[in-house]
Amino acid sequence: MALKKGSKAPDFVLDSTSGEKFRLSKNLPCIIYFYPKDFTPGCTEEACSFRDGFSELRGLEVNVYGVSRDSISSHNKFKDEHNLPFDLLTDKSGEVCKQYDALVPIVKIPKRVTYLIDENQIIKTTYSDMFGAKKHMQQMISELKG
């Protein structure tokens, strides 16, 4: 189960494909989506749906960031191969995934869960669906348009 709507999103710092440290509290409002693994079919479909909807999200003044446990090297290849216009963040330890209730127990891979976080670091909505990769971006657009 994802973190609750209306709760404060935990702040975190992770390495980013930008080459700089990413701090949540300095990049609000935003969409943070957790995904299992670079280059897998569902994760590629999800990333590409956020890529395809990126200009609409930016028009709504919201940035997008993807998070998985993959390395920055893997993220950079994934980002380049699919022309992703947003940064990917690496959570090697899985601690941020765990804070966001986005870690599958035992196997310790990230769940497919997406958060819309407002300028006050409050979770406006969540969407969790391991198999509906394209629905994550659509849900965020729907929530932003009200």
Residue given tokens 């997008």 in the structure block: 64
Backbone phi and psi for residue 23, each to the nearest 5 degrees, phi listed first = -120, 125
Q: Which of 30, 43, 48, 97 is catalytic?
A: 43
- Can 43 be counted among the known catalytic residues? yes
As a three-state string, the secondary structure of 16-67 is ECCCCEEEHHHCCCEEEEECCCCCCHHHHHHHHHHHHCHHHHHHCCCEEEEE
Annotated active-site positions, please? 43
